[in-house]
Structure 1
């Protein structure tokens, strides 16, 4: 059966939106051994540790770098998911390197991921909450929307979307009309799946982790714009709050975060397989 990515590609090519031709069908290959073939049939989860390389992300008051914290959590989460044997896992980066935002999305699309989860540990945007112990804290999760659910989320997305510049790229911003076209191309099924991924991940975190008020929010994050991959961005805490920073520096706490996220992924994948 043709995947929805195939039909989307054909539609975009017919509209002149894809300058490159569709890739030719590969020559038939020998069947993989049963164990390998069985594993290849498992849903693929793409984990996206934010920032990296020249882009450190947020920096806590004690000097904690977001890029290191989120990579450690992503690697811990990968171990848990792989141990569960229900999914395959790929990371957009597995070391301290810079990966452009568009390439993070492309990795998930090229591999036909079942879901894409971007992991961050931000600081409160300037002008959106006090700093120190009065700063916003707790975990939250974001799905894509053309209009942000609140000014805080809009400011957070604006800053995250500048990561390419922090990494040394100087690319023109995507025009608003192109953004609207990209959003319109997202199938209703993908949007609904992204919302369900966020809900199930939030439910898994709710009993284990402190949460930001109104923890499920929406904004125009670039890494969530794949039209055919259910996607969510999770903030595992705020490095601008000293309590969150202290927790995220503890391996045992990062393992707890990974456990909660694994529960959310398994809940989403289980429902997806069942339907």
Structure 2
């Protein structure tokens, strides 16, 4: 039995690679900052893990977080996307208008189907923050992305509204200033008692952290636009589908991150759409393409 807090890498044939202890993450000056992560090699130091195509990395974290399995790409050293199925466990999220659908089940189904699509395409590494009906805090979710050094973070949700006619998907990016009152209320409700953590003080460390967050916000907005471009004409979108606000789970991931609301469970048509495998496939196809293009674009920019 391995000790909690260790990463183990399994390659072809189940052979074990390197492991190292994960230090905890800390909230410093109101910002989520990862503490040092010490590894003998492999995950965490930027070097490729041992093992061939289809190898699997497992990140063991303290309860209630299960092991996080990373599906490898066809080639080593490919970027990593972490998919976060919203809610779960003690927090089922919104209920469908039929009374028989939970948001946590819909988000997990979409996340699993997106992971499968990305794995079959083989261009990126991919992992889920949860692969069952687990209760995770916002910092559990973002901490997984941060500790694994994710290149992109995508949180999946399904919306609900008092107006039963409201429908369509929405993409939220990270910003200190909300795009509209509804986005501000949604972010506040999702952040809950944990708040956002805006940072304080004028120290050099705080200023550098602020600059990093500004870059993260720009990257988050770019990713959101990419998702919407790929979704247009394939997925029903709400009016003005790009919204933004101060989402803790996006900020603390410390990677380009967006929150995707797949539709309104309070709407009869959207609920039926999210229960349809064919309709979900259109959502998954748009998200997979957006993820791959975004990561390819960022890699090309770095190589210039």
* Aligned-pair CA distance for 1:31: 8.0
Check conservation: 2:95, 2:103, Cα contact below 8 A: yes
Where does 1:33-182 land on structure 2 (aligned, <5 Å)?
Answer: 39-63=75-99, 64-124=101-161, 130-132=162-164, 134=165, 136-162=166-192, 173=195
TM-score (norm 1): 0.79
- Residue in 2 aligned with 1:32? 50
Where does 1:9-24 land on structure 2 (aligned, <5 Å)?
Answer: 22-24=36-38
User: Of Structure 1 and Structure 2, which has the larger fraction of its residues in strand?
Assistant: 2
Which has the bigger relative contact order, CA under 8 A and spacing at least 6? 1
Choose which of 283, 291, 300 in structure 2 pairs with 1:265.
291
* Aligned-pair CA distance for 1:39: 3.9
Check conservation: 2:111, 2:156, Cα contact below 8 A: yes
> How many residues are matched?
248
For residues 79-122 of structure 1, the C-alpha deviation after alignment (integer angstroms, 9 at most, x for no partner) is 11111111000100011111110111110011110100000002
- Residue in 1 aligned with 2:300? 274
- Residue in 2 aligned with 1:216? 242
Q: Secondary structure at the match of 2:135?
A: coil
Q: Is residue 2:238 matched to residue 1:238?
A: no
Check conservation: 1:57, 1:122, Cα contact below 8 A: no
Q: Is residue 2:264 matched to residue 1:225?
A: no
* Aligned-pair CA distance for 1:131: 2.2
* Aligned-pair CA distance for 1:156: 1.3
* Aligned-pair CA distance for 1:189: 3.2
Distance 1:138 1:27, change over 3 A: closer
Q: Secondary structure at the match of 1:236?
A: strand
Check conservation: 1:185, 1:227, Cα contact below 8 A: no
- Residue in 1 aligned with 2:281? 255
* Aligned-pair CA distance for 1:140: 0.9
Check conservation: 1:224, 1:232, Cα contact below 8 A: yes
Distance 1:121 1:27, change over 3 A: closer
Distance 1:58 1:266 in 2: 30
For residues 219-238 of structure 1, the C-alpha deviation after alignment (integer angstroms, 9 at most, x for no partner) is 11111113731000010101
* Aligned-pair CA distance for 1:184: 2.2
User: Of Structure 1 and Structure 2, which has the larger fraction of its residues in helix?
Assistant: 1
For residues 198-247 of structure 1, the C-alpha deviation after alignment (integer angstroms, 9 at most, x for no partner) is 11111011120111111111011111113731000010101111111111
Distance 1:226 1:138, change over 3 A: same
TM-score (norm 2): 0.72
For residues 139-173 of structure 1, the C-alpha deviation after alignment (integer angstroms, 9 at most, x for no partner) is 110111112110111111122223xxxxxxxx664
Distance 1:122 1:263 in 2: 23
* Aligned-pair CA distance for 1:196: 1.3
Over aligned residue pairs, what C-alpha RMSD do you find? 3.3
Choose which of 205, 209, 217 in structure 2 pairs with 1:191.
217
Unaligned runs of 5+ in 2: 1-25, 56-71
